[in-house]
Amino acid sequence: MIALIKREISAFFASTIGYLVIAVFLVINGLFLWVFKGDYNILDAGFADLASFFELAPWVLLFLIPAVTMRSFSDELKMGTLELLVTKPISLKNIVLGKYIGAVLLILIALLPTVLYIVTISQLGNPAGNWDVGSTIGSYIGLFFLVLAYTAVGVFSSTLSHNQIVAFIISVFLCFVLYYGFEGITNLGIDFPIETLGMKAHFDSVARGVLDTRDIVYFLSIAGFFIVCTILKLKKRN
């Protein structure tokens, strides 16, 4: 499986996809946080914290991760190479996990340069170095679990169509419903608190800096559910 993960990472950076993902993620976040005027601009907010980044990043990743995962299996299905891949001495489960972990690692690499944002707000603090450590670390942990869940949804979506664009649209739709859909329904005035079924409620909970096992179990369950669905879908096809 390690060889497959290395192959996936190499494939991302052998083409423009890997560099494009990292560049798009950093440029979009950078423009909204430091250049464009508005609610997300840290310099205009007057507070040295990354709340704007952690509010914006889940929405950027909602489009970026499906763009990374849309080719995971749709390309194999289109080219007819999936049948060739399953004849290799590697189980279908490890093939799915290899592609999944490869995509997760690529997104985590894209997140690494944002550590510079911490250095920046630390220098902007009054006095310098005065920033909310607990909330920032909690928000990064929340982003990590969000990446695990989004990526699992994206890999599953790529098994539903030979067309990468269709897989991308399905993935964006599912991620949107799971992230904001339940909270959106609650905001319509429904008394039953179904927002706890959505990822946003659990991400906000982790971002407050308190790790609750219910939030961790929720994200791991979402990721595990879609990985199992991916394996079952591919087994059914073969």
pLDDT for the residue numbered 118? 86
Concatenated DSSP letters for 81-102? -HHHHHTSSS-HHHHHHHHHHH
pLDDT for the residue numbered 101? 93
Say how far apart CA 47 and CA 96 lie, in whole Å.
43
Say how far apart CA 231 and CA 237 lie, in whole Å.
10
Torsion of CA 51, 53, 208, 132, to 10 degrees: -60
Concatenated DSSP letters for 120-182? HHHHHSSSTT---HHHHHHHHHHHHHHHHHHHHHHHHHTTS-S-HHHHHHHHHHHHHIIIIIH
- Does 79 score more than 80 pLDDT? no
pLDDT for the residue numbered 192? 66
Say how far apart CA 222 and CA 151 lie, in whole Å.
10
pLDDT for the residue numbered 199? 92
Say how far apart CA 181 and CA 127 lie, in whole Å.
40
Say how far apart CA 190 and CA 187 lie, in whole Å.
7
Confidence of residue 219 (pLDDT cuts 50, 70, 90): very high
CA angle (14 as vertex; 10, 16 as ends), nearest 5 = 125
Segment of 4-13, 51-60, 126-135 carrying the highest mean pLDDT: 51-60
Say how far apart CA 81 and CA 104 lie, in whole Å.
22
pLDDT for the residue numbered 148? 96
Helical packing angle, 213-237 and 92-111, nearest 10°: 130
Say how far apart CA 55 and CA 57 lie, in whole Å.
6
Chain mean pLDDT for the chain: 86
Tell me the pLDDT tens digit for each residue of 187-208: 776 666 677 888 999 998 888 7
pLDDT for the residue numbered 231? 94
Interval 157-171 mean pLDDT: 93
Global confidence as pTM: 0.88
Please give the radius of gyration of the chain, using alpha carbons only, rounded to the nearest integer: 19
Three-state secondary-structure class, residue 192? coil
Q: How far is CA 45 from the centre of its chain?
A: 26
Confidence of residue 25 (pLDDT cuts 50, 70, 90): confident
